[in-house]
């Protein structure tokens, strides 16, 4: 009877140890998978940030180019506006800039 109990007890202990070992192995596998997933996620985030920075630089370069072009065009217009002749002040039947009263 004692031997039977001891055998049963040792068998239960062995099964319990096996279950614990399996749990630990599963936990280790889960940890490894989680670390791999986390590494992949961080790499994706880094890539996303890199792409966003590139897009921002591109946008900034486009804006800079646009500003340069508009500034150049404005300077040309300003230069041309200075050289244009002024319209006559008292032309077209308006002496002193007012209507003469005859319609």
Least confident of 8-17, 41-50, 94-103: 94-103
Tell me the per-residue pLDDT of 24-81, one tens digit each, with 9 for 90 and over. Answer: 999 999 999 999 999 999 999 999 999 999 999 999 999 999 999 999 999 999 888 8
Asked whether the predicted pLDDT for residue 90 surpasses 80, the reply is no
3-state secondary structure the chain: CHHHHHHHHHHHHHHHHHHHHHHHHHHHHHHHHHHHHHHHHHHHHHHHHHHHHHHHHHHHHHHHHHHHHHHHHHHHHHHHHHHCCCCCCCCCCCHHHCCCCCC
- pTM higher than 0.75: no
């Amino acid at each position: 009877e004692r031997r039977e109990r001891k055998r049963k007890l040792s068998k239960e202990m062995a099964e319990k140890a096996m279950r614990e070992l399996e749990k630990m192995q599963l936990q280790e596998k889960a940890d490894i998978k989680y670390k791999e997933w986390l590494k992949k996620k961080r790499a994706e985030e880094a890539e996303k940030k890199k792409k966003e920075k590139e897009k921002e630089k591109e946008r900034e370069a486009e804006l800079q180019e646009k500003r340069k072009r508009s500034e150049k065009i404005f300077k040309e217009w300003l230069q041309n506006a200075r050289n244009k002749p002024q319209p006559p002040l008292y032309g077209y039947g308006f002496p002193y800039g007012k209507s003469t009263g005859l319609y």
